[in-house]
Chain A
Amino acid sequence: MNKRWLELSVGAMMVAGIAALVALALQVSGGSMRNVSHYPVSALFENAAGLGPKAKVTMAGVTIGEVVAVGIDPDTLMAEVRMQIDGQINYLSIDSSASILTAGLLGEKYVGITVGAEDDLLGAGDVIEDTQSALILEELIGQFLINLGDK
Chain B
Amino acid sequence: MLNFVVSCIANLGAVFLHTLVQMGQALLMLLQAIMVQPKASSLARLIQQLYVVGVQSLIIILVSALFIGMVLGLQGFTLLSAYGSEQAVGQMVALTLVRELAPVVAALLFAGRAGSALTAEIGLMKATEQLASLEMFGIDPLHRIVAPRFWAGIISLPLLVAIFSLVGIYGGHLVAVEWLGVYSGSYWGNMQQAVDFNEDVLNGMLKALVFAFLISWIALYQGYSCLPTSQGISAATTRTVVYSSLAILGFDFILTALMFGGAV
Contact = CB atoms under 8 A, between A and B. Distances in A.
Interface in A47-74: 52-53
Given A9-B51, A10-B54, A20-B165, A29 B159 contact: no
B166 interface: yes
Interface string A8-31: 011011101110110111011111
B192 A13 contact: no
Interface string B143-156: 00000000000011
The secondary structure that dominates the A interface is helix
A28 B169 contact: yes
Nearest to A21: B162
A28 B55 CA distance: 25
A147 interface: no
A6 B48 CA distance: 7
**Interface size, B (range):** 20 to 34
Contacts of A16: 159, 163
A32 interface: yes
Contacts of A17: 158-160, 162-163
B246 to A, nearest CB: 26
A29 B196 contact: yes
Interface string B202-242: 00010000000000000000000000000000000000000
A79 B200 CA distance: 29
Given A17-B160, A20-B166, A29 B200 contact: yes
B94 A28 contact: yes
Given A24-B165, A25-B201, A28-B169, A14 B47 contact: no
B191 A30 contact: yes
A23 B166 contact: yes
Contacts, number: 81
Contact of A24 (B55, B193, B201): B201
Contact of A20 (B51, B155, B163, B200): B163
A20 B162 CA distance: 6
A148 interface: no
A139 interface: no
Interface residues of A, number: 25
B58 interface: yes
Contacts of A150: none
A113 to B, nearest CB: 19
A48 B48 CA distance: 59
B118 interface: no
A138 interface: no
A33 B192 CA distance: 11
A125 to B, nearest CB: 25
Contact of B201 (A18, A29, A53): A29
Nearest to B195: A29
Contacts of A75: none
A1 B195 CA distance: 42
B196 A6 contact: no
B98 interface: yes
Interface in B156-212: 156, 158-160, 162-163, 165-167, 169, 188-189, 191-193, 195-198, 200-201, 205
Contacts of B156: 13
Interface string B56-74: 0010000000000000000
Nearest 5 pairs of A and B residues by beta carbon: A30-B192, A17-B159, A20-B162, A29-B197, A20-B166
